[in-house]
Chain A
Amino acid sequence: MSATLLEVRNLQTHFVSELGRVRAVDGASFRLESGQTLGIVGESGCGKSIMSRSILRIVPHPGEIVGGKILYQRDGESIDLAALDPKSAEIRAIRGAEIAMVFQEPMTSLSPVHTIGDQISEAIRLHQLFSKAAARERTIEVLSLVGMPRPEGIIDRYPHELSGGMRQRAMIAMALSCEPRLLIADEPTTALDVTTQAQILALLRRLQGELGMAIMFITHDLGVIAQMTDHVIVMYMGRIVESADVDSLFYQPQHPYTGALLHSIPRLGSSQPGGKLNVIRGSIPDPYAVPGGCPFHNRCRFNDGDRCQSETPIMREVRPGQFASCHYAGEVDLEGIALAEATP
């Protein structure tokens, strides 16, 4: 159970243009064990999507991995995905087959002019030796696995003929068609309404139980994190600021940013009607001009005006198994919330 599947070491993915250099991922390190569900949480633009695309080597132009390692473990050997050519046959054999991805927008992430079945069986035939007929059967099989009603009919439908939830099910079926060891789900429920969201989350939980794959769950929704994940990584400005198991993170956050995120969840009965919502003050710094020191210092209420602005904090173990990159982690008094409060 606790064999390492993926280890990311000091990953740096940068975007360089005439405007300057954006450090979308700036020295991220973490481990993912097989069968584990890892949550990656952070505001828009914190680098969580780029980090997941770095693993598959599909970072959009002009983004590039400029440093670090992505060690993928297979059959006792370790492959550094960061060192592969993004167009090589080696990485293409891993994409879709061993590491698959579910995207945010089920409408635009499926080709509008090809049938669901065409797009799913393509993945099957690409990675496995299947005849056309066998691939079609397998497609129907995975469609019923994801709870698609009447899969024999749906297989010949086009995406625009399906509802949002059904499209996302088709997307998940496509990702699972080759039985990957790791499923990266990039905000898979953000574009769906709440009822459908709950169905898709339940589906993913069930499938993980049945297939035993690891899931990397990327979201900005702490409620989803609370429901879905074992271990959580909090990202801010391309860096990992806190890493902990889900209970510790919610009950005893150690990084001020995590604390602020938790308290920005609106909760029933926590404020007077007409009262203000808790928000994190300030906004994310200009990615082209990141301030020195701790990247969060300009928004942090514990900013000491000295060390926080000059010295970049390093990641350290604050409690057993819980890491945070804050000079005062463990000293500042942060209030957690109950897990149940986070789930809608």
Chain B
Amino acid sequence: MTAYVIRRFLQMIVIMLIVSIVAFIVIQLPPGDFVDAYVTTISGGETFTQETIDALRAQFGLDEPFLIQYVKWISNVLRGNYGVSFQHQRTVADLLGERLPLTLAITLPTAVLVYLIAIPIGIYSALNQYSLLDYLFSFVGFIGLAIPNFLFAIILLYIGSQYFDANVAGLFSPEYELAPWSFGKFLDLLSNLWIPVIVVGTAGTAGTIRVMRGMMLDEMRQPYVETARAKGLSEARLIFKYPVRVAISPVLSTIGFVLPALISGTAIVAIVLNLPTTGPLLLNALLAQDMLLAGSMILFLSLLTVIGTFVSDLLLIWADPRIQFE
């Protein structure tokens, strides 16, 4: 076990190194660089002299060869210095520090709710297959899976503003938008949180219900369930001890993808709902070729993916003894 964990750690370091190189290359792949993007977006008819452009390039270090840029960047990152965003002229750490808590405020409760709601419903649906509620959950589930998130967000925006007089865009009511943190602002956040949570969580909930239901239907037919019943166990006890334990494996294996999704999965919804989260930040950084910001974020997401996969693997090993350390 310890040897396995150490081996996985070494693998993770190598993977992260490769990811950082690939990420750096991919961000630079589109023709031009940040200065070109900057010049075309800023210059409303105004022309930049070649000297200004060269000066800008030198200021951002973009005139140096690719390898030098990479080494400079990665050695800074390793020392905990993520650099300054070209676009925002603020440090990357500062930008993330501002948006990360709000992002997590939306995505963490969503992730928890997805599992809390979907797993019991999936189990119920399987145990009461073809019952009225099962059909209802299936119907709602398929709709939840089929509707694109942004469309769902727009529909909720419409319903919320039209019928409930809710403040639907953004995370805060206008009076708290720029106010410093207070208990009132916190309550305001909670009252505005439900739309993004529903939008972001629906597809995941629907998917998890289907997975859990299908797995449970398979497992309930297994002979070991009959053995447990013949032993004299009560239905409730045997269902939670045996088939649920086996059926939950595929759900555990997806926990690894939840971590990065917490940070980046909400980009489109966030744009539609005007949420100050990390999703739109990353999108804009990529569009503007804001190297240091985009690079840091991608590196961070990759790290979360790698850690998440590792956590998933550990959970699976715990849940299913047939899985070997290999």
Contact = CB atoms under 8 A, between A and B. Distances in A.
A77 B287 CA distance: 83
A108 B227 CA distance: 10
A101 interface: yes
B245 interface: yes
B230 A95 contact: yes
Interface string B228-254: 111111110000011001100000000
B2 to A, nearest CB: 20
A158 B245 CA distance: 15
Contacts of B230: 56, 58, 95-96, 100-101, 103
Given A158-B322, A160-B322, A109 B224 contact: yes
Nearest to B245: A113
Interface string A97-122: 10011011100111111110001001
B223 A113 contact: no
Interface stretch (A86-94, A202-210, A240-248): A86-94
B229 to A, nearest CB: 5
User: Interface residues of A toward B: which range?
Assistant: 20 to 34
A331 B241 CA distance: 57
B232 A123 contact: yes
Most chain A beta-carbon contacts within 10 A, residue among B228, B229, B246: B229
Interface string B12-47: 000000000000000000000000000000000000
A197 B198 CA distance: 58
Contacts of B228: 111
Interface string B272-312: 00000000000000000000000000000000000000000
A103 to B, nearest CB: 6
Given A113-B246, A113-B320, A158-B321, A108 B223 contact: yes
Interface residues of B, number: 21
Contacts of B241: 114
A118 to B, nearest CB: 9
Nearest to A104: B223
A329 interface: no
A34 to B, nearest CB: 20
B98 interface: no
Nearest to A58: B229
A127 interface: yes
Contacts of B246: 111-113
Contacts of B322: 112-113, 158, 160
B232 A103 contact: no
A87 B231 contact: no
B252 to A, nearest CB: 12
B224 A92 contact: no
A87 B235 contact: yes
B232 A105 contact: no
Interface in B151-188: none
Please report whether the interface of chain B is mostly helix, strand, loop or mixed according to DSSP: helix
A99 to B, nearest CB: 9
B231 A174 contact: yes
B232 A112 contact: no
Contacts of B116: none
Contacts of A105: 223
Given A108-B223, A109-B224, A95 B321 contact: no
A111 B232 contact: no
B77 to A, nearest CB: 42
Contacts of A96: 230-232
A126 interface: yes
A13 B235 CA distance: 22
Nearest to A127: B232
A167 to B, nearest CB: 11
A165 B227 CA distance: 17
Nearest to A120: B231
Interface in B55-72: none
B225 to A, nearest CB: 9
Contacts of A113: 245-246, 319-322
Most chain A beta-carbon contacts within 10 A, residue among B222, B228, B230, B320: B230
Contacts of A60: 226
Interface string B73-93: 000000000000000000000
Contacts of A114: 241-242, 245
B242 A126 contact: no
For the complex of A and B, 8 pairs with smallest distance between CB atoms: A96-B232, A95-B232, A96-B231, A109-B223, A101-B230, A92-B232, A108-B223, A111-B224
27 contacts: A56-B230, A92-B232, A92-B233, A94-B232, A100-B230, A109-B224, A109-B226, A110-B224, A110-B227, A111-B224, A111-B228, A111-B242, A111-B245, A111-B246, A112-B224, A112-B246, A112-B320, A112-B322, A113-B245, A113-B320, A113-B322, A114-B241, A114-B245, A122-B233, A126-B232, A158-B321, A174-B227
Given A108-B223, A174-B227, 18 more contacts: A56-B230, A92-B232, A92-B233, A97-B232, A101-B230, A103-B226, A103-B227, A104-B223, A108-B224, A112-B224, A112-B322, A113-B245, A113-B320, A119-B227, A122-B233, A123-B232, A126-B231, A160-B321
Interface of B: 222-224, 226-235, 241-242, 245-246, 319-322
Interface of A: 56, 58, 60, 87, 92-97, 100-101, 103-105, 108-115, 119, 122-123, 126-127, 158, 160, 171, 174
